[in-house]
């Protein structure tokens, strides 16, 4: 168990940050699922609108440190390819 005040503060801070980061990742997943649902429905217009919302969310996740840069790029690339294949 933590004995020093610094260690106790670190534990408190880590739990707060974990909650915030979990919410950020969940928000990104929600947007990605909206794009995937539009792709499954075959609706290219709504898929394009949804991917326009996903891109800044992925970028924000990278800048906040909850996603790796290459992970975000890979997700965006794969979604974009799937939308392009709808045509």
CATH of the domain at 11: 1.20.58.110
Q: Is the pLDDT of residue 1 over 80?
A: no
Q: Residue 47 belongs to what domain range?
A: 5-84
Residues 70, 87: Cα–Cα separation, whole Å: 27
Half-sphere exposure of 12 (CA within 13 A, CB side): 6
Model confidence over 18-63: pLDDT tens digits? 999 999 999 999 999 999 999 999 999 999 999 999 999 999 999 9
Neighbours of 31 (CB within 10 A): 17
- The domain total for the chain is 1
Q: Is the pLDDT of residue 2 over 90?
A: no
> Is residue 87 very low, low, confident or very high in pLDDT (cuts 50, 70, 90)?
confident
């Amino acid at each position: 168990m933590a004995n020093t005040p610094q260690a106790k503060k670190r534990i408190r801070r880590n739990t707060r940050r974990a909650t915030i980061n979990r919410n950020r990742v969940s928000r990104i997943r929600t947007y990605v699922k909206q794009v995937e649902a539009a792709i499954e429905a075959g609706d290219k217009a709504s898929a394009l609108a949804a991917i326009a919302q996903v891109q800044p969310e992925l970028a924000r996740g990278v800048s906040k440190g909850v996603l790796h840069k290459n992970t975000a790029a890979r997700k965006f690339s794969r979604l974009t390819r799937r939308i392009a294949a709808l045509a």
